[in-house]
């Protein structure tokens, strides 16, 4: 049954909308994880250095990070459908141009521009789903959308590797055209409504510029922590820049980020912080286990990849079920349980050793996968349900920003620990003990982050109504 949009004479198809958003939600992480597989081939053909290949990924992440809040706010002002639709077009066109790139500099530039399209999609897609589906169906819809994100992350290395091996790295970017076209035409055909609850309000260019500068400093600092002391200066300046951004936003009537959402909305603030902590605690796990399985367990890359895919597959399979569960059980409770499962999996992984059996590793990956599935879509449902409709775009952009900042935090922790325990040495048979020490320390840090996340998640749970408290005290 269609759910009416802002314009009263128009209705939209829920299924078509969900399919369009899911296609775009699959394409973005698919390209992110798939391009990593293609980097060696790109480097060989275009004569790129290791630093330039690193910039291919950094440019995309930097662009997405800079524009998430901006595009979310523009969606609230000018229409989320319009921004989402334009974002698909930008992402698709840049994918086509990337397939024809003539130099590594062109690849880096097009990836940055593609990141703008990615930010337009990420900051409005979830908001559109929330706008289209009524509250009693929202958890299931968000769960399906999140499952597509995980499916994209899971399929990227596998399908990307097969395409690059069979047809070359350019074939990977060709996929942007048909997948983007399907989503683009579905939005054009079926999604006729529009949501612009902040229409007519001015855009905060000053706050956006300060935020962009802070994020640039943070990303550059985090990406170069192993290159001396100067990256720490960039990180410090970036954190200070975020403080300046918050101060600027409190003085502007129509800010790009309504700071009062964080100051006065306890559920929104704690849920956003829980999302940041959860991504920080789980993103770096694959990095550690990829090295552990190959250098400590002696597996081939294919064997290691087959084992590591258990976690994202579990996330993809259980996310729709967990989303539906949050439609019947309070979503905050479901998300808290998911965070607890993640903490349990990380706690077990701290005890890892060269003799740890495969059954324990499988159990760890399943705990993390199911735990993240229980956390992610219910937590998103709590966040989007805790703000007024005029702030849905900003809320969606902020959650995506929390995801990006969480990933950066995770990799920053790993970089610091590697420099402390490994002292710049590669992982070899001789340094295996130091690597295991680094891995255990990192996983222990991640587990602590999850525990803090559980406390944040518990803190947003609704307290018992006063009448119920009085009734219990009388008893």
Could you give the CA distance from residue 70 to residue 114 in angstroms, rounded to a whole number? Answer: 15
**319-354 pLDDT per residue, tens:** 777 777 777 777 788 888 889 999 999 999 999 988
Contact 111, 59 (CB under 8 A): yes
pLDDT in the model for residue 301: 63
**19-75 pLDDT per residue, tens:** 888 888 888 888 877 787 787 788 888 888 766 777 787 788 788 888 888 888 888
Mean pLDDT confidence for 128-157: 77
Contact 283, 445 (CB under 8 A): no
Which one is predicted more confidently, 456 or 471? 456
> Is the per-residue pLDDT at 267 higher than 80?
yes
In sequence order, what are the residues at sequence separation of 6 or more whose Cβ sits closer than 8 angstroms to the Cβ of residue 426?
Answer: none
Contact 133, 3 (CB under 8 A): yes
Mean pLDDT confidence for 101-126: 90
> Is the per-residue pLDDT at 465 higher than 50?
no
Q: pLDDT band at 2, cuts 50/70/90? A: very low
pLDDT in the model for residue 475: 40
DSSP category for residue 252: -
Q: What is the DSSP string of 318-335?
A: HHHHHHHHTTTS-HHHHH
Could you give the CA distance from residue 172 to residue 410 in angstroms, rounded to a whole number? Answer: 28
pLDDT in the model for residue 12: 61
pLDDT in the model for residue 110: 94
Most confident of 103-112, 198-207, 402-411, 415-424: 103-112
346: phi then psi, degrees, rounded to nearest 5: -70, -35
Question: Over the range 402-423, which residues count as b (16 or more CB within 10 Å of their CB) and which as e?
Answer: bbbbbbbbbbbbbbbbbeebee
Largest distance between two CA atoms of the chain: 78
């Amino acid at each position: 049954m269609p759910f009416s949009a802002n314009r009263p004479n128009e209705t939209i198809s829920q299924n078509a909308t969900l399919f369009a958003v899911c296609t775009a939600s699959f394409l973005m992480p698919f390209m992110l994880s798939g391009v990593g597989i293609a980097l060696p081939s790109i480097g060989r053909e275009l004569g790129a250095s290791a630093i330039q290949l690193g910039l291919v990924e950094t440019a995309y992440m930097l662009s997405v990070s800079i524009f998430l809040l901006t595009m979310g706010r523009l969606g609230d002002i000018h229409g989320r459908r319009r921004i989402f639709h334009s974002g698909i077009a930008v992402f698709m066109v840049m994918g086509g141009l990337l397939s024809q790139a003539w130099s590594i500099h062109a690849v880096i530039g097009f990836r940055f521009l593609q990141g703008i399209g990615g930010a337009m999609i990420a900051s409005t897609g979830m908001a559109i789903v929330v706008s289209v589906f009524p509250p009693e169906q929202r958890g299931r819809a968000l769960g399906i959308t999140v499952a597509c994100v995980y499916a994209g992350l899971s399929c990227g290395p596998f399908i990307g590797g097969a395409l690059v091996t069979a047809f070359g790295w350019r074939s990977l970017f060709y996929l942007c055209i048909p997948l983007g076209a399907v989503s683009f035409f579905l939005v054009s055909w079926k999604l006729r409504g529009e949501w612009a609850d902040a229409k007519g309000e001015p855009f905060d260019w000053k706050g956006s510029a300060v935020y962009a500068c802070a994020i640039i400093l943070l990303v550059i600092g985090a990406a170069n922590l192993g290159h001396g002391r100067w990256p720490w200066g960039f990180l410090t300046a970036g954190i200070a820049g975020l403080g300046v951004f918050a101060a600027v936003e409190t003085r502007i009537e129509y800010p790009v980020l309504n700071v009062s959402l964080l100051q006065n909305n306890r559920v929104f603030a704690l849920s956003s912080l829980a999302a940041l902590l959860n991504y920080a605690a789980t993103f770096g796990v694959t990095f550690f286990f990829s090295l552990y399985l190959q250098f400590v367990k002696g597996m081939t890359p294919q064997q290691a990849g087959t084992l590591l895919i258990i976690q994202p597959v579990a996330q993809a399979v259980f996310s729709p079920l967990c989303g539906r569960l949050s439609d019947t059980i309070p979503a905050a409770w479901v998300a808290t349980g998911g965070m607890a499962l993640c903490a349990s999996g990380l706690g077990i992984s701290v005890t890892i050793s060269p003799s740890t059996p495969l059954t324990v590793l499988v159990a760890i990956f399943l705990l993390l996968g199911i735990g993240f599935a229980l956390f992610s879509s219910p937590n998103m449902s709590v966040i989007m349900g805790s703000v007024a409709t005029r702030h849905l775009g900003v809320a969606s952009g902020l959650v995506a920003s929390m995801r990006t900042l969480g990933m950066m935090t995770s990799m920053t922790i790993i970089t610091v620990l590697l420099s402390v325990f490994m002292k710049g040495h590669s992982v070899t048979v001789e340094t295996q003990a130091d690597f295991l020490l680094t891995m255990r320390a990192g996983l222990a840090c991640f587990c602590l982050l999850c525990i803090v996340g559980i406390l944040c998640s518990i803190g947003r749970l609704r307290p018992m109504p006063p009448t119920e408290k009085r009734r219990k005290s009388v008893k």
